[in-house]
Amino acid sequence: MATTKVNALTDIGNIADADKLVGERVDGTTVRITFNGVLLDSEFGSNGLMTRTAAGTYASRTLTGTSNVIDVTDGDGVSGNPTIDISSSYVGQTSITTLGTIATGTWQGTAIDSSYIADAFLLNTGDVGTGVYDFGGATSFEIPNSASPTVDAAGEIAIDTTITDHTGLITYHDGTEALYVVGMPTGNLSTADGYVVAYDATNNEFEMVAQSGGGGGSESTEHDVNQTSHGFSVGDVVRISGATTYTEAQADSATNAEVAGVVSAVAGANDFTLTTAGYITGLSGLTANTLYYLDPSSAGAVTSTEPTTTGQISKPIYYAESTTTAVLLTQRGIEVGTAVGAASQAEQETATEDSKYVAPATQQYHPSACKGWCQADTAGNATTSYNVTSVTDVGVGQATIVWDTDLSSANGCHMATSYTAGAVHTIRVSGIAAGSTTVVNVTTAPAVADPDNYMVAIFGDQ
């Protein structure tokens, strides 16, 4: 069928099949003409797609995209069907908040080839990452772990899940060989200076102990002790309580006060260093230039106050050099007894008291003690003496010794002798009194003669 463009109502007669033309008045001046149901060209104002905007109203439209996001080709359909595509300049956007949720079914698709993924992502075996990876916000981080893992290239690291307290925990390859970081129980760690890692065969684990004895080095005598759950702290004074076991010492009895040493370092719950002599460091709260004793009230403690209660033990422990250092003292302690008084004159004279000490001021009152003695010349001089007031020359070969503290009576033991160089003389007591003794010297002739020296002594009650 031939077609003819109709531009006005006057052209209707020129169209074949004119009976298919339909005219519809839109308003007082406009008539819409359709041919076989198709709106005639006279109703369009421009090229493009037509859309109905309201009843009896139509408009031309053109598909358009968004710059750098959606590209549209032939949006008006004039040159061909419109095509829509993502712009090659599209770089994404931040305004997408929800991608949606799959309620049922399974995502279908092809995995993205790793060649399209930047090196910052490690997705497949053999991938090599570069740059910095920050896992600071992670609550845990798992590295390769297995029973006896293999690390055979530089930088490889893994955890051996078969470890015990005394075997390697983390294995690392340095490019030459596999190295291990050993495991150690938390209770065996120490922050003390000079401590080193050592193996404890008894407990089958590693621990930190003082090197060469720790605490005082060559200036002290000390050794490391392994005792399960010892409970000691640095500064505790201890004694031996059994075979290779120790307990805190205390000055409340002779047994408890047999001090073995002072704890100078604690390596862990089962290990400590015991200093037994010499210089000790690491203490606290001391007063320099102060002597410290074993405390009778608190086990393992020291006190600057010497125990004085009967039955307690006065046991010096160390002399403080500073607030943290001291010199250990090794003498045994002395048990505090009941105070002992001095024997009186009467107790000395009766010679039966056995619970008091003899004081120098009263010792001469004992019956066995000499009450006075003298060596004198013939001129009346006491060359040396005890308890003598004076010496009187009463004639040839005669002298009287006057005692400072008299006997209680003349009934004492008065004794005398004499000395003359190159001669043998005899001397006798010729007179006695409570306060004096008179002697006479006789030669073998016999004749009274002066000796070189008189020697006189008395015993008795005063």
| Total count of domains within the chain | 4
pLDDT tens digits along 279-313: 999 899 999 999 999 999 999 999 999 999 999 99
- Residues 250, 285, single domain; the answer is yes
- Residues 413, 331, single domain; the answer is no
The DSSP bridge pattern shows strands 157-160 and 145-146 to be: parallel
Does the residue 218 lie in any domain?
no
Average pLDDT, integer, range 126-139: 80
pLDDT tens digits along 92-127: 776 666 656 666 666 566 666 666 666 556 667 777
Q: List the structure tokens of 272.
A: 């400590």
Q: Which of 310, 335, 360 is the last residue of a domain?
A: 335
- Residues 246, 320, single domain; the answer is yes
- Residues 241, 331, single domain; the answer is yes
Between 137 and 161, the more confident residue is 137
Between 377 and 50, the more confident residue is 377
Of 230, 166, 234, give the one whose Cα is nearest residue 202: 166
Instruction: Identify whether the C-beta of residue 372 lies closer than 8 Å to the C-beta of residue 413.
Output: no
pLDDT above 60 for 6: no
C-alpha dihedral over 162, 190, 237, 221, to 10 degrees? 100
Domain that includes residue 370, residue range:
345-459
- Residues 320, 349, single domain; the answer is no
Q: Of 22-26, 256-260, 302-306, 339-343, where does mean pLDDT reach its minimum?
A: 22-26
Average pLDDT, integer, range 365-385: 93
- Give pLDDT, residue 413: 94
| Amino acid code (one letter) for 226 | N
Does the residue 131 lie in any domain?
no
pLDDT above 90 for 61: no
Q: How far apart are CA 111 and CA 91, in angstroms?
A: 22
- Residues 317, 381, single domain; the answer is no
pLDDT tens digits along 154-172: 888 888 777 665 556 788 8
- Residues 329, 362, single domain; the answer is no
- Give pLDDT, residue 410: 92
Contacts with 134 (C-beta within 8 Å, 6 or more apart), sequence order: none
| Amino acid code (one letter) for 342 | A
Does the residue 86 lie in any domain?
no
pLDDT above 80 for 23: no
Between 285 and 32, the more confident residue is 285
pLDDT above 80 for 140: yes
Confidence bin at 252 (pLDDT 50/70/90): very high
Does the residue 408 lie in any domain?
yes
pLDDT above 70 for 317: yes
Q: Which of 182, 209, 239 is the last residue of a domain?
A: 182
pLDDT above 70 for 12: no
Q: Of 161-165, 367-371, 402-406, where does mean pLDDT reach its minimum?
A: 161-165
Does the residue 34 lie in any domain?
yes
Instruction: Identify whether the C-beta of residue 414 lies closer than 8 Å to the C-beta of residue 337.
Output: no
Q: Tell me what the pLDDT averaged over the chain comes to.
A: 82
- Give pLDDT, residue 307: 95
- Give pLDDT, residue 98: 63
Average pLDDT, integer, range 34-58: 67
Does the residue 171 lie in any domain?
yes
pLDDT above 80 for 455: yes
Confidence bin at 217 (pLDDT 50/70/90): very low
Helix (H, G, I), strand (E, B) or coil at 391: strand
Does the residue 26 lie in any domain?
yes
Q: List the structure tokens of 87.
A: 């712009």
- Give pLDDT, residue 393: 93
- Give pLDDT, residue 401: 96
- Give pLDDT, residue 218: 58
- Give pLDDT, residue 189: 81
pLDDT above 80 for 385: yes
Q: How far apart are CA 293 and CA 319, in angstroms?
A: 9
